[in-house]
Amino acid sequence: MFVHAHPDDETLITGGTIARCLREGAEVQVVTCTLGEEGEVIGDEYALLCSGEADQLGGYRILELTRALEALSAAAPGPTVRPTFLGGAGRFRDSGMADMPSSKNPRAFVNADIARVAATLSELICAFRPHVVVTYDPDGTYGHPDHIRVHAVTHAAIDHAAATEWDVPKLYWAVVGREFARTATEALRDIPAGWDDSPESGLGRYPDGAITTRIDVTCVLEEKRSAMRAHATQVSVSRDGQCYALSNSIVQPILAEEQFVLVRVSSQAAPAPPGGGGDETDLFAGL
The closest of 269, 252, 246, 274 to 198, measured between CA atoms, is: 252
CA distances from 222 to 19, 61, 183, 190, 242 (A): 10, 21, 22, 19, 11
What is the number of helices (H) and of strands (E) in the chain?
A: 7, 10
Which residues lie closer than 8 Å to 224 by C-beta, 6 or more apart? 11, 15, 16, 19, 72, 217, 254
Check whether 159 is labelled as a binding-site residue: no
CA distances from 261 to 21, 104, 157, 174, 216 (A): 17, 32, 18, 7, 15
Check whether 147 is labelled as a binding-site residue: yes
Check whether 208 is labelled as a binding-site residue: no
The closest of 168, 163, 130, 137 to 18, measured between CA atoms, is: 130
Q: Please state the residue numbers annotated as binding site.
A: 6, 9, 147
Which residues make up each annotated binding site for Zn(2+)? 6, 9, 147
